[in-house]
Chains A and B, each alone.
Chain A
């Protein structure tokens, strides 16, 4: 069985850099692997331990996104490649889903299972997985908290939100979005790091995956940022120093609002 895992490199949020178009300038920032995406890899590797599977990790981003692929290879995946083209820059969810689904169609056509992390730490929209599924006309399940059983034809999963817990049978091929903190990722071993260091990470551009100029990047993105600003709402409230004012005095104020 062929399994594809899509991962995202997320910028180190302590130091934001912007392009002139008000998009995040990822080239100038340090990237780390989106935490829940490691759990998506872990979920794939656990399936591989049960049945004969090949796990391929894919990411879209600048050349240095290779760093996150290294970590995936160190964890034990079979292959990892990069979707990199200057034309991809500035893609919104719709344009990103176009590129990712094209990579499945063109490079991994016999994929039975596509796994995402539930959402990215930087954007938090959690829409890319379901969008890719919609493009490929595949069923998708989000908030996956457990993979119960998998065969060549179908997968049984538990999807859990704070309202309900549902067990589902899904016909393969399918897309899953793995929820946070359910598949703690393994720590790579030294031999994993050695393999990752020497591994040949192939890069594919838009022609390799048959995506047109107009379908990707800023051109292919219907949404665009018109303005970015720092939110400056303030409430001019009272401020007490507990070292100077007793809590009993402060409580008299709190009582008025309770």
Chain B
């Protein structure tokens, strides 16, 4: 069978809601589809008690032509063994040209497994996708700690890529999808992993990937009361606190608050970068922000290139004054 189409892993959460990254990938797939002749977009949903009609409507609204559904009571919560093997079999049953998967921890798990089983190439954490020479998928990703960017091609099919949330923008279109049911013999999958306890963390409201305003600190803020000032400003602006890899390594933020290629890609309306030089993989994580405000005492810091408003100054002087200004503003 000639490989055809773009297959997307439509990851859902515990309540069978589609993850935001899936809609973003569908929108991107629509623009890729226009550049290659006669392709379809397939979205694959794995789970239990899936509301078929709703799922087809929603995935169709973002560009899916076909929705492949695998439903079984053993698939209620994510199980790596089952999900990876099922998605591999789907990719074998409907051989696509391209497979796109959200770079969540679940998505990365599945992508690694599928690419190995299909003996095909996988480009992880892409920051852009396009169609290049010979109608091949052109995957762009930062390389080498984010100092350089590489365009990567793949000479085998399917061509696979994972992409983090917020890299692309989801757009609703007026379209409907067709349902396809695929029966996979789950009994044949040997499961060697047994879940004995699962605690879901209640931090969805604090998820920086969905934040409107972010105040983030880097190495420059990793001393004295730097992060205390960041927290105070964030509180006054109703913003989320984030930081760079160094800030995480030094214990000022949690891993879930880390911005950048090895952390999260964010796309807030306003991103305030405090004491961040931006020399590293950090910039990849903030490029899609609405407005970027930078506070740094080094006027040569690379991050100033990305600033809509740049302030050259000592954060320990600027932040307290800024906090005062916000207070004054609130009183009025």
Residues of A within 8 A of B (CB): 13, 16, 22, 24, 92-94, 97, 119, 121-127, 129-131, 133-135, 138-143, 156, 161-171, 174, 180-181, 221-231, 233-235, 237-243, 247-248, 250-251, 253-255, 257-258
Contact = CB atoms under 8 A, between A and B. Distances in A.
B73 interface: no
B81 A94 contact: no
B199 A168 contact: no
A127 B121 contact: no
B148 A228 contact: yes
Contacts of A161: 105
Contact of B306 (A124, A140, A234): A234
A222 B121 contact: yes
Interface of B: 80-81, 84, 105, 108-109, 111-113, 115-117, 119-125, 132-133, 138, 142-145, 147-156, 192-201, 203, 213, 237, 249, 254-256, 261-262, 269-270, 281, 283, 287, 290-293, 299, 304-314, 317-318, 321-322, 325-326, 329
Given A226-B153, A235-B308, A238-B308, A168 B194 contact: yes
Contact of B321 (A121, A247, A253): A247
Contacts of B318: 242, 247
A227 B152 CA distance: 7
A197 to B, nearest CB: 30
Nearest to B281: A124
A156 B325 contact: no
A228 B143 contact: yes
A140 B291 CA distance: 41
A241 B312 contact: yes
A97 B116 contact: yes
Which of B80, B84, B112, B322 counts the most A-chain CB atoms under 10 A from its CB? B112
Given A222-B155, A231-B149, 16 more contacts: A94-B120, A124-B261, A134-B116, A163-B203, A166-B195, A167-B196, A167-B198, A169-B194, A174-B192, A181-B249, A227-B150, A228-B143, A229-B149, A235-B308, A240-B311, A255-B329
Contacts of B198: 164-167
B195 A13 contact: no
A237 B308 contact: yes
B151 A164 contact: no
A93 to B, nearest CB: 6
Contact of A257 (B109, B291, B304): B291
A13 B281 CA distance: 11
Nearest to A232: B305
Interface pairs A-B: 3 shortest CB-CB: A242-B313, A222-B121, A162-B256
A94 B122 contact: yes
A143 B213 CA distance: 29
A224 B153 contact: yes
A246 to B, nearest CB: 8
B188 to A, nearest CB: 14
A226 B152 contact: yes
Given A222-B121, A242-B312, A247-B318, A168 B193 contact: yes
Given A131-B112, A162-B254, A139 B193 contact: yes
A163 B112 contact: no
B291 to A, nearest CB: 4
B279 to A, nearest CB: 10
B121 A223 contact: yes
11 contacts: A22-B150, A93-B124, A97-B116, A140-B80, A164-B201, A169-B194, A222-B119, A222-B121, A226-B152, A227-B151, A251-B322
A228 B149 contact: yes
Given A94-B122, A131-B116, A251-B325, A241 B313 contact: yes
A254 B193 CA distance: 52
B194 A130 contact: no
A166 B195 CA distance: 7
Contacts of B269: 257
Which of B132, B270, B307 counts the most A-chain CB atoms under 10 A from its CB? B307
Contacts of B321: 247-248
Contacts of A229: 148-151
Contacts of B314: 242
A239 B196 contact: no
Contacts of B124: 93, 124-127
A142 B306 contact: no
Nearest to A159: B105
Given A143-B105, A222-B156, A257 B293 contact: yes
A224 B111 contact: no
A240 B147 contact: no
A241 B313 CA distance: 6
B242 to A, nearest CB: 12
A61 B109 CA distance: 25
Given A167-B195, A222-B155, A238-B308, A135 B116 contact: yes
Contacts of A119: 262
A161 B84 CA distance: 18
Contact of B262 (A124, A138, A169, A227): A124
A130 B312 CA distance: 45
Contact of B193 (A170, A222, A234, A240): A170
A94 B121 contact: yes
